[in-house]
Structure 1
Amino acid sequence: MEKKGRLVCVVPVYNEADLIVNTVEGLKKIELIDEIVVVNDGSKDNTLDVVKTLNISIIDLDKNYGKGHAMKKAIDTLEYDYIAFIDGDLGETSIQVESLILPVINGEADVSIAKFPKRSDMTHTKGGFGGVRALAKKGVYFFTKKEIDTSLSGQRVYKKEVIDKIDYIPDRYGIEVAMTIQTINNGFSIIEIPVTMNHRYSQRNLKGFIHRGKQFRDILKTFITMYLRR
């Protein structure tokens, strides 16, 4: 597939030293990607040291600002015609990002988003009870009147003109729903691409419940902010 324009793949990371190598190595196998950029969001482990060995571009933030802030830093810093956002915990399954790139560069859609299998179809340990996912889906429908199953997915490819029209990027976990809503309401098209990628799930333990609580809070705050901005 001949690609017109520059495609940059951005990987925002926080404490991903154990998986970032395999994630990047998978991305390196995708010839359509012109540059891989890891944004180290103030990791407290040795993520930065590991990334420095991978011969890729790095944006290093001085503290943990949040995923949305890290993505915005990349948007404001990099030059691109297409931009992919990929989570750092995909491991070798990151090579499947190619299936997200193709429909965008060939004009099938303005944005592609990875659609993971349903939890019941997977063999990993159970995660949460679906509250965050339900909030995200209902909130996106409230603002757009469209049913989107992938509003929380961090694996996405955008045309630059879509990003240029997005004027609200929250700092933390509300980033994906905010960008989804603005993409739809600005008249751009989204295609959801089924994938079989693997990534880290928060478990049904105290740490997992705290994580999901923060997600719920940030997404709800994002919806409130977007409502007040209307």
Structure 2
Amino acid sequence: MKSKVLVVIPAYNEALNIEKTVLDIQENASDVDYVIINDGSKDNTLEVIKENNFNHIDGFCNLGLFGAVQTGFKLALQDGYDVVIQFDGDGQHSAEYIRYMVEEIEKGNDIVIGSRFVTEKKPFTARMMGSRLIAFAIKLMTGTVLTDPTSGFRAYNKKCIQDYANDMNNPPEPDTLVYMLRKKRKIKEIQVQMSDREFGESYLNLANTIKYMSRMMVSIFLIQPFRKVK
């Protein structure tokens, strides 16, 4: 039986990118459903969404990535979807890989990560230092090698849809992968290509990057290993 797939697109101030993102899905993954979670955008993201009649849920305030994505998981759980694809609204992910990710879920994997570094080498750049540190921390705590744990391009099966929809302690971040591995969730990476953001700026400036890395390290070493497995 063919999987019922929902692409969840969190969007905050993505007015210049969201149209291209949805058109990519419509052209390259036309057999899946999608929903944009407008996370209280302060620009005209909502206007662009409405002008194009894109499927969406409008959040009246900014909940952050976790709140936006969990809203999508709750919708998927409610409507009986088999697979959720987490897909950024900034145009960096490519919908052509969605079918390969779904295929890997159908083969028995619980989480599939679209990785830039399965077959390609990770560059030694300041930008990739955080990814290397997180990957090292996850390997140290679980023994599992993940080449691109910070990738926001992921597929989740039904069990994980429930995990993420119902538990406030499971943000779609790298640290939660430690807990998922402790739950014996099977994680697979596949090689993908990602584009650079064309418009707007990432929230990860230097100060936010330091805060993010500090939070990830504390969680990976001091929180996730000691959570009660449900």
Q: Which TM-score band (shorter chain)? A: 0.7 to 0.9
Shift of 1:219: 1.8
Distance 1:139 1:91, change over 3 A: closer
Distance 2:169 2:159 in 1: 19
Residue identity over aligned pairs, in percent, reads 25
Where in structure 2 are there 5+ consecutive unaligned residues?
A: none
Any conservation in 2 of the 1:12–1:71 contact (CA below 8 Å)?
A: yes
Any conservation in 2 of the 1:10–1:84 contact (CA below 8 Å)?
A: yes
| 1:75 alignment counterpart | 73
| 2:192 alignment counterpart | 195
Shift of 1:82: 0.9
For the residue of structure 2 that corresponds to 1:52, the secondary structure is helix
Distance 2:226 2:105 in 1: 32
Distance 2:98 2:206 in 1: 29
Any conservation in 2 of the 1:112–1:192 contact (CA below 8 Å)?
A: yes
Distance 1:183 1:225, change over 3 A: closer
Any conservation in 2 of the 1:19–1:91 contact (CA below 8 Å)?
A: no
Q: Which residue, out of 156, 170, 181, partners 1:158?
A: 156
Give the TM-score, by structure 2 length. 0.80
Distance 2:180 2:204 in 1: 32
For the residue of structure 2 that corresponds to 1:175, the secondary structure is coil
| 1:94 alignment counterpart | 95
What is the aligned residue count? 215
Deviation track 1:119-175 (CA, whole Å, cap 9, x = no partner) reads: 64xxxxx9734342133213322432211112111001111112324565558xx63
| 1:110 alignment counterpart | 110
For the residue of structure 1 that corresponds to 2:126, the secondary structure is coil
Any conservation in 1 of the 2:92–2:197 contact (CA below 8 Å)?
A: no
Amino acid in the other structure paired with 1:164: Q
Q: Which residue, out of 173, 177, 182, partners 2:174?
A: 177
Distance 1:110 1:138, change over 3 A: same
Distance 1:10 1:74 in 2: 6
| 2:31 alignment counterpart | 32
Give the TM-score, by structure 1 length. 0.80
Distance 1:188 1:161 in 2: 9
Distance 2:92 2:146 in 1: 25
| 2:227 alignment counterpart | 229
For the residue of structure 2 that corresponds to 1:12, the secondary structure is strand
Distance 1:108 1:160 in 2: 11
Any conservation in 2 of the 1:165–1:186 contact (CA below 8 Å)?
A: no
